[in-house]
């Protein structure tokens, strides 16, 4: 049996830089390069694209990445795994197969993972007694949003990825598998681990390591509190994992690349976007982040060991996207002297315009940019003298409405400030109203979700 | 002069739905007990006022000398429907660094 699997992280989100992924593929000597492309909102956006065009609905970047990387990946023997299939992994897989043929890479095997999309099953599930209670708010009135649903996807585990790899796939493209599963899958496959009681700690270790590296540069110096100490972040190295059969792992990066890997860059990502650290819940299992041990074992190299965990829960998380009105927004800036007073006057003027335009708003929000936009009530105001001397202050107004027409009034009122506003009012391009897709997270019994694996060959 | 949390720890802040999560990491093992004593749900609620509508939990991670602060109903409805600019709470947690360190 293999004693070590070497994985790289190729993407932390849809929109990440491709050059660090190419670098880690070229220089990383990897068994696998793994990509997370999906955020909570992505599925709803992609579902909308698919409605307009049945051939769309995957993350376009995922196709570009696979096309750009598969010649090198086939040559060096690195397998590419992603969740970039979005709500149309089949169309994505077919595109990748077509690209492989066009590149002369015959016999490239592409694994397609489906089954996370439960949009068409909701009615049936309701009748079977699934309540779809909101797991964040406890809200049980799912009927209030049911007629406005855009997307519904379960966060599925690594089972399908493992099956595809067992089938000899060079590339695996999935829909909504968890971000984490693109790392857990190859590790479980290589070591022959199963979702059973003997492997809970080892799977927990794969989950913990997957969490650390799944945002790519997030553990190599990106988003850091120590930003000033991070060299050459514009050419940051994406992380590399040496995962060992005993369930421990080393995290490192390509030598000579920007950024750092040390205990703090890893800790910073370990604590990122988690709830109770004793129970990091993934569809593959539960990891206890308070059990693990970190050691710096070399330059840009951190060893992680002793991860403990528990078996996977018998429910799966589902995120349902539903239409929830519109947001209208406007921004203007005001100069010294008396920048703050100008901003206050502009706010008063905006509110008068809203009255004249008979704006029907659900919620009106103002920010004083430079003073309280980011911390709200948690930002102390400067004293009167300091306020009077501020170089500039901005006014941001955001309004939640039921219709696009009402949201458009906010853009118009913002433009009216150009002449009705205080002297020195400056502005950029007006902001177009945007539709809101709100998210309804819920838990459902696993038996309603069945992953399907198909293997396509170029 | 009294030390602030910013003097003894690092932070990474983010979101999950309408939840803002902020991980505070002690700069040294000696700083960790002070970090634990300083961050309490009551003080977190007090800083953010109406911005945090739900309960706050503070979880200790003794193994890496960190505290994870989880604030519910804290992002104005979550990234896709909030009216705030910091839709994903990346900046929000940094206000915790203003807390005076409890000796």
Paired strand residues for A251? A241, A302
Minimum distance, in Å, between the CA of residue A248 and any CA atom of chain B: 16
Residue B53 has pLDDT above 90, yes or no: yes
Residues near A122 by beta carbon (within 8 Å), at least 6 away in sequence: A132, A146, A149, A152
Are residues A40 and B17, on separate chains, in Cβ contact within 8 Å? yes
What are the angstrom distances between the C-alpha of A337 and each of A340, A372, A385, A422?
9, 19, 12, 12
Give which of A214, A267, A271, A327 to mutate to test B binding, by max B Cβ within 10 Å.
A271
Does B30 have pLDDT greater than 80?
yes
- Asked if A41 lies within 8 A of B59 by C-beta distance, the reply is no
For residue A395, give the chain B residue with the closest CA: B85
CA distances from A296 to A252, B61, B66 (A): 10, 18, 17
Beta strand A79-82 pairing with A32-35: parallel
What are φ and ψ of residue A128, in 5° steps? -80, 0
Q: How far is A271 from chain B (nearest CA, A)?
A: 5
A and B: number of Cβ contacts within 8 A: 142
- Domain with residues B5-75, CATH architecture: 2-Layer Sandwich (3.30)
The answer to whether the Cβ–Cβ distance between B85 and A400 falls below 8 Å is: no
- Flag whether pLDDT at B2 surpasses 90: no
Tell me the torsion sign for CA atoms B40, B43, B48, B49: positive
Question: Residue B1 pLDDT more than 80?
Answer: no
User: Residue B103 has what pLDDT?
Assistant: 87
Contact across the interface for A264 and B25, Cβ inside 8 Å: yes
Distance of residue A167 Cα from the nearest chain B Cα, in angstroms:
35
Domains of chain A: 4-116+156-313 (no CATH), 320-440 (3.30.70.260)
Task: Out of A41, A291, A399, name the one closest to residue B63 (CB).
Answer: A291
Helix axes A19-27, A60-76, angle to 10 degrees: 20
**Which residues of B fall within a CB distance of 8 Å from A221?**
none
Start-end of H helices in chain B: 5-8, 32-38, 41-48
Look at B78 and A438 and tell me if their CB atoms are within 8 Å: yes
A270 contacts in B (CB within 8 Å)? 23, 64, 66
Residue A324: which of B25, B68, B81 has the nearest Cβ? B81
C-beta atoms of A271 and B61 within 8 A: yes
Handedness of CA A404, A409, A412, A417 (dihedral sign): negative
| DSSP strand pairing (A308-310 vs A285-288) | antiparallel
Query: Which tokens belong to A270?
Result: 């370990």
Q: pTM of the prediction?
A: 0.97
Long-range contacts of A361-365 (CB under 8 A, 24+ apart): A361/A399, A361/A400, A361/A401, A361/A406, A362/A325, A362/A400, A362/A401, A362/A402, A363/A399, A363/A400, A363/B83, A364/A397, A364/A398, A364/A399, A365/A397, A365/A398, A365/A399, A365/B76, A365/B83, A365/B84
In angstroms, the separation between the Cα of residue B103 and the nearest Cα of chain A is: 22
Q: For the segment B58-102, what is each residue's pLDDT rounded down to a tens digit?
A: 999 999 999 999 999 999 999 999 999 999 999 999 999 999 999
Give the start-to-end residue ranges of the domains of chain B. 5-75
CB–CB of A365 and B17 under 8 A?
Answer: no
CB nearest B68 (choices: A271, A324, A379): A271
Query: Which residues in chain A are closer than 8 Å to B70, comparing Cβ atoms?
Result: 275-276
Q: pLDDT tens digit string along A377-413?
A: 999 999 999 999 999 999 999 999 999 999 999 999 9
Relative to beta strand A392-401, strand A363-369 is antiparallel
Could you tell me the CA-to-CA distances from A50 to A57, A87, A154, B58 in Å, in that order?
A: 5, 8, 18, 41
Give the count of beta carbons closer than 10 Å to the beta carbon of residue B43.
16
Which pLDDT score is estimated for A44?
85
Cis before A337 (ω within 30): yes
Report residues of chain A scoring pLDDT below 50. Answer: none
Contact (CB<8Å) A376/B51: yes
Residues in chain A: 458
A9-19 pLDDT tens trace: 999 999 999 99
Look at residue A74 in the predicted model and tell me its pLDDT: 97
CB atoms A439 and B86 under 8 Å = no
Closest by CA position to A63, among listed A116, A14, A29: A14
pLDDT of residue B18: 95
Instruction: Supply the mean pLDDT for chain A.
Output: 97
């Amino acid at each position: 049996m293999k004693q070590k699997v070497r994985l790289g992280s190729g993407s932390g989100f849809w929109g990440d830089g491709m050059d660090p992924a190419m670098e880690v593929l070229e220089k990383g000597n990897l068994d696998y390069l793994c990509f997370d492309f999906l955020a909570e909102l992505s599925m709803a956006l992609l579902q909308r694209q698919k409605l307009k065009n049945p051939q769309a609905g995957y993350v376009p970047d995922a196709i570009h990445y696979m096309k750009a990387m598969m010649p090198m990946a086939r040559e060096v023997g690195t397998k590419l795994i992603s969740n970039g299939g979005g709500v149309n992994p089949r169309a994505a897989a077919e595109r990748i197969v077509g690209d492989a043929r066009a590149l002369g890479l015959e016999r490239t095997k592409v694994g397609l993972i489906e089954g996370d999309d439960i949009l068409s099953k909701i009615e049936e599930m309701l009748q079977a007694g699934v309540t779809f209670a909101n797991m964040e708010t406890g809200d049980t009135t799912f009927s209030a949003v049911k007629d406005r649903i855009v997307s519904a996807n379960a966060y599925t585990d690594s089972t399908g990825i493992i099956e595809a790899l067992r089938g000899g796939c060079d590339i695996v493209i999935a829909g909504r598998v968890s971000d984490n599963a693109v790392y857990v899958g190859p590790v479980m496959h290589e070591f022959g681990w199963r979702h059973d009681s003997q492997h809970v700690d080892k799977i927990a270790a794969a989950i913990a390591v997957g969490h650390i590296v799944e945002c790519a540069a997030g553990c190599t110096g990106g988003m850091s509190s120590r930003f000033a100490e991070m060299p050459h972040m514009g050419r940051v190295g994406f992380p590399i994992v040496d995962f060992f059969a005993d369930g421990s792992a080393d995290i490192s990066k390509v030598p000579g690349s920007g950024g750092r890997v040390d205990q703090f860059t890893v800790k910073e990502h370990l604590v990122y976007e988690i709830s109770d650290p004793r129970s990091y819940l993934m569809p593959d299992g539960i990891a206890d982040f308070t059990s693990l041990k970190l050691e710096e074992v070399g330059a840009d190299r951190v060893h992680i060991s002793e991860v403990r965990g528990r078996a996977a829960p018998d429910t799966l998380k589902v995120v349902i996207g539903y239409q929830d009105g519109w947001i209208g927004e406007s921004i203007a800036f005001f100069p010294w002297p008396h920048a703050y007073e100008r901003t206050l006057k502009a706010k008063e003027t905006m509110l008068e315009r809203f009255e004249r335009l008979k704006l029907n708003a659900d919620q009106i929000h103002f920010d004083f940019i430079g003073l309280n936009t980011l911390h709200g009530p948690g930002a102390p105001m400067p004293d009167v003298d300091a306020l009077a001397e501020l170089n500039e202050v901005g006014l941001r107004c955001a309004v939640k409405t039921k219709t696009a027409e009402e949201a458009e009034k906010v853009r118009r009122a913002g433009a009216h400030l150009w002449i009705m506003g205080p002297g020195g009012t400056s502005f950029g391009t007006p902001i177009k109203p945007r539709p809101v897709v709100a998210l309804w997270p819920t838990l459902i019994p696993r038996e309603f979700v069945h992953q399907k694996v198909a293997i396509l060959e170029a | 002069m009294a030390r602030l949390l910013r003097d003894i720890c690092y932070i990474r802040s983010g979101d999950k739905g309408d939840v803002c999560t902020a991980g505070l990491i002690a700069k040294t093992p000696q700083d960790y007990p002070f970090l634990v004593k300083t961050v309490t749900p009551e003080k977190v609620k007090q800083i953010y006022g109406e911005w945090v509508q739900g309960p706050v939990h503070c979880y200790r991670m003794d193994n890496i000398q960190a505290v994870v602060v989880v604030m519910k109903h804290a992002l104005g409805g979550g990234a896709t429907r909030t009216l705030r600019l910091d839709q994903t709470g990346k900046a929000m947690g940094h206000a915790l660094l203003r807390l005076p360190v409890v000796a």
